[in-house]
Structure 1
Amino acid sequence: MPGPAPAPAASAQRRAHWPAPGAVLELLKPITWFPPIWAFACGIVASGAALSEMWPRALLGLVLAGPLVCGMSQAVNDWFDRHVDAVNEPQRPIPSGRLPGRWGLWIAIAWTLLSLGVGWALGSWGFAATAVGVALAWAYSAPPLRLKRDGWLGNAACALCYETLPWITAAAVLSGGAPDPRVVLVALLYGAGAHGIMTLNDFKSVEGDLRFGIRSLPVQLGPDRAARLACVVMAVPQAVVVALLIAWGAPFAAAAIGASLAAQGACMARLLRDPRGLAPWYNATGISLYVLGMMASAVALRGGAP
């Protein structure tokens, strides 16, 4: 005869040890996937590849850049930041208990292995770039390096992974070899500018960073100086891109990016009145102009600017 049914309390306890799918998705933060996906798309455009033939690799690369590598980095960061998040953002899945036990760590490891597997499928360039991205993601959040403890190093690692690396990877994977040096240079410049974007993102967590000894730039410099630095760091690389495009014979793209930079300047002037209060607003306005300039650069490079 069949045994007795498990007690309702025991069944509920077993279910409580499994995270809800919504909590897992929240851990991977889909909203953060846009920057690397956009950068990878810029690399696709700049490569000049025929998408009618290369679309499967392009699509796989977009999935790798966003849901996999970026999602993995978010899981790693949330696991090693769970004590800081308990102060700054206690509603997140791990500090709130919606991801019980060590589920956050297991998901981070699983997504790391999955990312490396997909990178392997994209060839030597794809795998090498994925390995670099994975290594930087763990170095950023995990001890002993924990690069995020210093705003200069941590922001540089994030900017490289979010902007430069996916752009160069896409250009290499889609072109089947080393990317055009001009593509590499422009990707590096936009990655350098993204250091300022990362600084603005740190304004939301100043209290927890102070409490746990994380020396973000708003903590080190104070909100006003950090905001001014972020604006300069974002603006100067774009001005260099404008000059390069003019030198390479792409005046229309240069003019478009110059206009975008001027509009960003107006937004920056407002941001500096109240950096902590207006950083989210700038992230929705000024950063949108920034990424549109990235695509204008990619289109110019695809057009074969001499």
Structure 2
Amino acid sequence: MATSHFLAAAAATSSSSAAFRPPLRFLSLPPPSLTLSRRRPFPVVRAADADAKETTKPKVPEKAPAAGSSFNQLLGIKGAKQEDNIWKIRLQLTKPVTWPPLVWGVLCGAAASGNFHWTVEDVAKSIVCMLMSGPCLTGYTQTINDWYDRDIDAINEPYRPIPSGAISENEVITQIWVLLLAGLGLGALLDVWAGHDFPIIFYLALGGSLLSYIYSAPPLKLKQNGWIGNFALGASYIGLPW
């Protein structure tokens, strides 16, 4: 009899403790819908920020100012007129305004050598040397300089031939190679013409072309350093034609 009373009391105690046990459902995580509702505004805000950034970007005009000069365009200097003729654009890239110092260097070097005579042969050699130094190798230098500055020019001077799209990238690269090979070829011709045992003119032209390249092209890009850049410019641009 006592045993039955003990079992009844134990059952009552277990049932009462079970009655006071907190339901497990109250410990469950919040429904997923709440998490999704918190994440919804973020893409909208980012999209709004992107739209705001787009509206603040400066827009480049499609056409250059109408006041551009045809003369400046042919010389390859600022204030040039927008041109559609591909050969005028190619000439503009070579910047003919930069040729005279090279031509003058050839004249001064010929006069200082003491071996120049006003004969047809010597005059012809001088003209070939001027073509090598001016239109060919200086044109190569100026074209490759514009090529590696195209990203900066797209911001500062978007009307230049390369950033404006007036000339294609393949056409620019072709022009660089044609001018370089023409200049080196004229240098080799002058060595043969002068009867040099060692092709000194060819190697001077090759060395100057290499200096011109690393002056404008990364990773060295010597023009970013004032002292080294000026030395390279003087050595290749001014000294070699002499």
Q: TM-score range by the shorter chain?
A: 0.5 to 0.7
What residue identity is the alignment partner of 2:105?
A: A
Report what 1:116 is aligned to: 184
Match of 2:98 among 15, 25, 32: 32
Structure 1 segment 203-218 matched on structure 2, within 5 A: none
Distance 2:211 2:238 in 1: 13
Distance 2:155 2:226 in 1: 19
Report what 1:101 is aligned to: 169
Distance 1:90 1:115, change over 3 A: same
Distance 1:73 1:117 in 2: 16
Q: Which runs of 4+ in 1 moved over 3 A?
A: none
Q: Relative contact order (alpha carbons < 8 A, sep ≥ 6): 1 or 2 greater?
A: 1
Q: Is the 8 A contact 1:19 1:100 kept in 2?
A: no
Is 1:76 aligned to residue 144 of structure 2? yes
Match of 2:208 among 113, 133, 151: 133
Q: By how many angstroms is 1:45 displaced?
A: 1.1
Distance 1:158 1:99 in 2: 27
Q: By how many angstroms is 1:155 displaced?
A: 1.7
User: TM-score, normalised to structure 1's length?
Assistant: 0.47
Structure 1 segment 54-203 matched on structure 2, within 5 A: 54-123=122-191, 124-167=199-242
Distance 1:116 1:98 in 2: 28
Report what 1:50 is aligned to: 117
SS at match of 2:164: coil
Percent of paired sites with the same residue: 39
- Structure 1 alignment gaps of length 5 or more: 1-17, 168-306
Report what 2:26 is aligned to: none
Q: Is the 8 A contact 2:94 2:135 kept in 1?
A: yes
Q: Which structure features the higher share of helix residues?
A: 1
User: TM-score, normalised to structure 2's length?
Assistant: 0.59
What residue identity is the alignment partner of 1:137?
A: S
Q: By how many angstroms is 1:19 displaced?
A: 6.7
Distance 2:169 2:236 in 1: 29
Q: Is the 8 A contact 1:19 1:98 kept in 2?
A: no
Q: Is the 8 A contact 1:36 1:161 kept in 2?
A: no
- Structure 2 alignment gaps of length 5 or more: 1-83, 192-198
What residue identity is the alignment partner of 1:117?
A: G
Distance 1:81 1:41, change over 3 A: same
Superposed CA RMSD in Å reads 1.6
Distance 1:45 1:155 in 2: 26
Distance 1:91 1:159 in 2: 29
Is 1:20 aligned to residue 95 of structure 2? no
What residue identity is the alignment partner of 2:206?
A: A
Alignment length, in residue pairs? 150
SS at match of 1:51: coil
Q: Is the 8 A contact 2:105 2:238 kept in 1?
A: yes
Q: By how many angstroms is 1:81 displaced?
A: 0.8
